Amino acid sequence: MNTFKRLKGFYWPYKNYLIWSLFFLLFVTGITVVYPIILQVTIDEVVAKDRYSLIPYICSLFLVLMIMKGLSTFAFQYLGDLFGMTSVYKLRGSIYDKLQALSFRYYDNAKTGDIMSRLTADVEGFRFFLSAGIAELIRTILLIVISLGVMFYYSVPLAVVTMAAMPFLIIVVYQFDKRVHPAFRKIRKSMGVLNTRIQENISGINTVKSLSREDFEVERFSASNDEYRNNYIDTSKLWAKYFPLMEFIGNICVIALLGYGGYLVINGGLALGELVAFFSLVWYILDPLMSFGFIINQFSQAKASGERLIEILDAKEDIVEKEDAVDLPIRGHITFKNVTLTYVKDDDSALKNVSFDAPPGKIIGLIGATGSGKTSITQLITRFYEPENGEVLVDGRLVSDYRLRNLRKHIGFVLQEPFLFSTTIRENIAYGNPNVTNEQIMDAAKRAQAHDFIMEMPKGYNTMLGERGMGLSGGQKQRIAIARAICINPSILVLDDATSAVDMETEFKIQHALREVMEGRTSFIIAHRISSLKHADEILVLDDGEIVERGTHDELLNNNGPYERIYNIQYQDREAVLNTAN
């Protein structure tokens, strides 16, 4: 029950729905047990004593009971569903909020498909037990207790004989519970893996097809599908093993009832109607006990689902906002002091003792080989990660002194692979600043050299984009992302290979527009093309997480260092291409 105790805060505030649901369930169960009693009265008082005048009264009573049961059934089922759905509404919202709060470190190791499985299948599994499982458990207990009470009222000896095998049934049910819970946890885990396979394949379908890896992906999916199937079959084997045993023990109880009950009727120790009622009542006990496996099934699934949900709720938030964090205007003065960053413990550091100063309005270029630490610098400015050592300062304050929302709203990001949402172009551009006007959206698009191709689309700015911007070229996505960054009017602008997917002519136009945009803003330009950053006020050349050179474009060209070698390679290649063309 620790799982349910841990999640108590999500469902207990709505306990009134559950209490009223159980109140009506008590009516339903009580009326159900009255049926055998009516049957006993009909046999012993009407048939045996020829009192057929009682039939209209019995029928009227039966009709009233059926109406009461129908209304009570509606009430308890509706209130039970209301209890379950309201509870998981809050739970699902809290998990989603937690996912928004978790840092990049969590998502570095998490799988999208598994997270989606937890937010859907696991939340639904927990909801189903709250809506129906608890009520079914209480109904089972009430039905057994009330039926036993009536049986002992009719005949104590027959009740004792009939229930003699019941402890064995309880033991079997307990053993079944111990085995079935781990089995259902395996099912939930394999379902998460299966969802991850599907999500990765669909997201990377272009790569799969371009490399002709369809057969490999089918094999990977088949392996995950087989694991899910095998786990489900193993659980089915448990059902196939334990359920017949439970049914066999139940039938022993019925045999004892018929044998000893028939003996009592023959010898006058029990009325025939009471034996018939006894037969109905014993099934009111055996059926719930044998179907207890279904309740255990629901409970085990809910427990397994709850454990997976708790894993998200208990996930460590690496980036924690201070209680005294401030909301202040940001001018954009960035300072790094001996900063070291390691993404994975005991792994090589992504940044090693990095120090530099970027006054407001300055343009800083970052260049180096892939994995040299360029993007890591910008991710520390936004506090996506925390450095192991050193200080990252914004306007003389540690980045941790600012409220995260306040810090990040002053930073505009344009990534090498920008993410666009499945909505209109207008809403994508305005995503970072929902209050932006249509005129500002169009102005931002024009500066980003995106306005012309947008107007050529079927509905212009109201054109709906496919998933992740499907239907647009890489360069078009980047230009929309640049327009989005312009719209938030940031104090700090980060361009992470923002023009890598555009041609040289468009790159020139965008850079010309961005120079106007970067005016008065602290800007970081990450690029592999020297043409993208040679106008920077200072260029930092990184290698293996360290700054190996720094200076302006002209200064670095005279250093006979890594920057000059990169320049020579790029421009020698260009001259070779031009000479070949001529």
pLDDT recorded at residue 578: 44
Does the residue 341 lie in any domain? yes
Three-state SS for 524? strand
Asked if the structure places residue 319 within a domain, the reply is no
Q: Which two tokens stand for residue 249?
A: 């023990």
Do 67 and 153 lie in one domain? The reply is yes
CA distance 229 to 221: 12
Residue 102 belongs to a domain: yes
Task: Note the pTM of the prediction, 2 decimals.
Answer: 0.71
Please classify residue 68 by burial: count the beta carbons closer than 10 Å to its beta carbon, then call 0-12 exposed, 13-18 middle and 19+ buried. Answer: middle
- Is residue 15 within 8 A of residue 130, CB to CB? The reply is no
Answer yes or no: do 144 and 254 share one domain.
Answer: yes
Residues 6+ apart with CB under 8 A from 378: 366, 413, 494, 496, 524, 526
**Do 340 and 423 have their domain in common?**
no
Q: Is 296 domain-assigned? A: yes
- Among 471, 489, 507, where does a domain finish? 489
Distance of CA 46 to the CA centre of its chain: 62
* pLDDT by 10s per residue, the chain, length 582: 688 888 888 888 998 999 999 999 988 888 888 888 888 888 888 887 788 888 888 888 889 988 998 999 899 899 999 998 998 888 988 888 888 888 878 877 777 777 887 888 888 888 888 888 888 888 888 888 888 888 888 888 888 888 887 788 778 877 877 787 678 778 877 877 887 777 777 767 766 766 567 788 888 888 888 888 888 888 888 878 877 887 788 788 888 888 888 888 888 888 888 888 888 888 888 777 767 767 777 787 788 888 888 988 888 888 888 888 898 889 999 999 999 998 877 778 889 999 999 999 899 999 988 888 888 998 899 898 889 899 999 999 999 999 988 888 888 888 777 788 888 899 989 988 888 899 999 998 988 888 988 999 888 999 888 766 677 877 788 888 888 888 888 899 988 876 665 666 666 766 766 777 778 889 999 888 787 788 889 999 999 999 999 999 988 988 888 888 888 887 765 544 444 444
pLDDT at 213: 74
Which of 464, 489, 514 is the last residue in one of the domains? 489
Comparing CA positions, the residue from 492, 488, 571, 579 lying closest to residue 529 is 571
Distance CA 245, CA 250 (A): 9
Asked whether residue 187 falls in the same domain as residue 300, the answer is: yes
Residues 268, 406 within the same domain: no
- Residue 432 half-sphere exposure toward CB, CA atoms < 13 A: 26
In a domain, 320, yes or no: no
Residue that terminates a domain, selected from 263, 280, 313: 313
* 521 phi-psi bin (left φ>0, alpha ψ -120 to 50, beta other): beta
What are the b/e assignments for 26-40, b being 16+ CB within 10 Å?
ebbbbbbbbbbbebb
Same domain? For 274 and 361 the reply is no
Q: 179: domain range?
A: 2-313
Q: What is the CATH number of the domain that holds 45?
A: 1.20.1560.10
Whether residues 42 and 124 share a domain: the answer is: yes
Do 95 and 127 belong to one domain? yes
Q: Residues 262, 344: one domain?
A: no
Q: Do 345 and 453 lie in a common domain? A: no
* Residue at 318 is within a domain: no
Please spell the DSSP secondary structure of 571-582, one letter per residue: HHHHHHHHHHH-
- Residue 324 included in any domain: no
Which CATH number is 396's domain given? 3.40.50.300
Both 99 and 192 in one domain: the answer is: yes
Same domain for 451 and 563, yes or no, is no
Q: How many domains does the chain have?
A: 3
User: Does the residue 84 lie in any domain?
Assistant: yes
At 503, give phi and psi (nearest 5°): -75, 170
